[in-house]
Amino acid sequence: MDLRNFNFQTDSYINLSGEWEFYWLKFLTPDDFINGKTNNPDFIKVPLLWPNHKHDTKTLTNEGYATYRLSVLLNKNSEIALSLRFLEVSSAFKIFINGKEYKNYGAVSTSYEFEKPVLFPQYLDFIQQGETLNIVLHVSNFHHRKGGIFKKIQLGSTEVIRKQWSKNIAFEFTIFGAILIMGLYHLGLFLLRHQDLSPLFFGLFCIIMAVRVIFTGEKLFMIFHPEFPYELMVKLDFFSIYISAPFFVLFFYSLFREYFNKYILFLFGFTCIFFNLA
């Protein structure tokens, strides 16, 4: 990838989208590339789920592990504090920058038993010296229904990336607070007027959506509780979708009861319960 005309000090950030070298079911280190221990690479688009890619004419599965590699050409005089932002890589990954192992996000593995998954945006700060940035990623997935790098990887100056992160955090806290207050307000209305069920349904819908806000996007809850169980976090993410929908429909049903078919309402409710149990 050629970024020699990109100025990290004046421009924003750039997505490292495109074709990366790809080595399925292999964990290769930077030394392996230097010593010529690699065969002809496959190439995969990033971002892309593994099942959407064919390797040796075979469609990949969501479970597995692989090595990604990308070389980025930078300005010759480049010596700057840079940051990488990984939106979502499933389920664990390790990163090497310019031949040096920088950080493990979770614990990559070749099996389910030894993999430690994580699933929230990650940031890596480093000092880039020289005109070539070499990135090597080890990615494994044995816990999530989606495998691979399925959201964009962003590269920019540390200042720009961190400012964007701060803006995202502030925005999501604002949304969380606004929805939570709205939900509590309507629950308060229901306590004052029990005969009207619409504030109850809308209040519960808002509370559930507020919970969803802190488990999606920047995943605010994980900032304060990074050791929160991975499986429970994923379940809460999906649970919040299917449990909030019935309350939203019940809210409109309580307002416009004469226009609703009860059988359709029950069918919708049972469908949501089925997806929650599944």
Residue 167 sits in the same domain as residue 261: yes
Within a domain: 5 = no
Residue 18 sits in the same domain as residue 122: yes
Residue 140 sits in the same domain as residue 172: no
Residue 135 sits in the same domain as residue 218: no
Within a domain: 189 = yes
| Res. 186: pLDDT tops 90 | yes
Owner of token pair 């709205």: 182
pLDDT, position 142? 95
Residue 73 sits in the same domain as residue 118: yes
CA–CA gap between residue 215 and residue 219 (Å, rounded): 5
pLDDT-derived band at 277, boundaries 50, 70, 90: low
CA dihedral (91, 87, 213, 220) positive or negative:
positive
What CATH code is carried by the domain that includes residue 31?
2.60.120.260
Which of 117, 151, 185 corresponds to the end of one domain? Answer: 151
Residue 233 sits in the same domain as residue 125: no
Residue 125 sits in the same domain as residue 229: no
Residue 116 sits in the same domain as residue 182: no
What is the chain's Cα-based Rg? 23
DSSP state of 94: E
Within a domain: 40 = yes
Global pTM?
0.86
pLDDT, position 276? 62
Residue 178 sits in the same domain as residue 130: no
| Res. 43: pLDDT tops 90 | yes
Give the pLDDT confidence of 59-91 residue by residue, as tens digits: 999 999 999 999 999 987 668 899 999 988 988
Within a domain: 92 = yes
Range of the domain at 246: 163-277
pLDDT, position 188? 95
pLDDT, position 177? 97
Which of 151, 174, 202 corresponds to the end of one domain? Answer: 151
Within a domain: 8 = no
Domain count, the chain: 2
Q: Which residues contact 253 (CB under 8 A, 6 or more apart)?
A: 260, 265
Give the pLDDT confidence of 207-245 residue by residue, as tens digits: 999 999 998 888 888 888 888 888 888 888 888 888 888
Q: For all residues of the chain together, what is the average pLDDT?
A: 89
pLDDT, position 104? 92
Residue 36 sits in the same domain as residue 147: yes
DSSP-H helix ranges across the chain: 30-34, 158-192, 198-214, 220-224, 230-255, 262-277
Q: Which residues contact 160 (CB under 8 A, 6 or more apart)?
A: 8, 12, 13, 83
Give the pLDDT confidence of 194-206 residue by residue, as tens digits: 889 999 999 999 9
- Percent of the chain scored above 70 by pLDDT? 98
Residue 112 sits in the same domain as residue 183: no
